[in-house]
Amino acid sequence: AVPLFLHFVLFRSSSSRTLPSFLIVGPSGAGKTSLLTLFERGSPATTHTSQTPLTVEAALPVTTTAASNRYRSSHDPSSKEHKIFLLVDTPGHGKLRHHAFENITSPQHLKGIVFLVDAANLSTGAGGPTDAGLREAAEYLHDILLMLQKRAMGTKKVPEMPLLIAANKQDLFTALPAPLVKAALEAEITKVRESRSKGLLDSGIGMGDSDMAEEKEWLGEGGEGKFEFAQMEDVGVSVTIAGGSVLGGEGPEVGKWWDWIAESL
């Protein structure tokens, strides 16, 4: 991970206040710190568990054209400049997640959210040893999406927020490919929102001011049906799923994620 002092230097530099930023979130072990290091230095490094959010400056590789530069002539010198942006790493540990949520509720030029998951730690089989990984990822993602939904339903008009589900560790043969990661997370989030709303009813919250607690805590469209990421479009959140690997035998495979960042800049 980036040493702590560096975090403070970057965080306090005036440029970091105005640069577009992307938030990287996800369960611990997903590969966030590795991804951050790769984006920053161009090569992944071995990491240790992060306990504080990190902010680093990264630049788009020259081969990727940011959406805002696409129509510039190749003779325009500004089209050759790297687009700089910030990545905010957040600890995946449950108790430290308020850092991630703070970044969403008070975003500074936040252009998008990357939710990184370990695609080899998501099992769709019932009762398997890795089901806990799927549950943890689904709960975390559910909470982030719910927060984005609440933010969009507020009185203040908020910008659209693209979210990338980056299905990491595709180099491992046990990794689920992106379409299966999508299906597994949608199915598990369906269960999470059911148990959350049941928990609310059981706790008595929402008995008095019923529409407040009950309606606002329900992610996506009403009804008992299946949760789908497409339901988030209604609240200005477009969800994309793309596979990749930060590490792995053949070296990093993160082209689809770069493309998504370039689209969102």
Q: Which residues bind ligand GDP (CB under 6 A)?
A: 26, 28-34, 47, 50, 92, 168-169, 171-172, 245-248
Report, in Å, the least distance between residue 244 CB and ligand GDP.
Answer: 7
Report, in Å, the least distance between residue 145 CB and ligand GDP.
Answer: 19
* Complex with ligand GDP: residue 19 or 172, whichever CB lies closer: 172
- Amino acid at residue number 123: S
* Complex with ligand GDP: residue 225 or 251, whichever CB lies closer: 251
Within 10 angstroms of residue 215's Cβ, the number of other Cβ atoms is 12
Report, in Å, the least distance between residue 232 CB and ligand GDP.
Answer: 23
Say if residues 108 and 17 touch (Cβ distance below 8 Å): yes
78: CB partners within 8 A, 6+ apart? 69, 72
Q: What is d(CA 151, CA 154) in angstroms, rounded to the nearest whole number? A: 5
Pair of tokens at residue 168? 């990491």
Report, in Å, the least distance between residue 56 CB and ligand GDP.
Answer: 13
DSSP state, 176? Answer: P
* Complex with ligand GDP: residue 46 or 74, whichever CB lies closer: 46
* Complex with ligand GDP: residue 50 or 65, whichever CB lies closer: 50
Query: To the nearest 10°, the Cα dihedral for 169, 85, 102, 2?
Result: 60
* Complex with ligand GDP: residue 94 or 225, whichever CB lies closer: 94
Report, in Å, the least distance between residue 31 CB and ligand GDP.
Answer: 3
Which of 228, 233, 229, 238 shows the shortest CA–CA distance to 263? 238
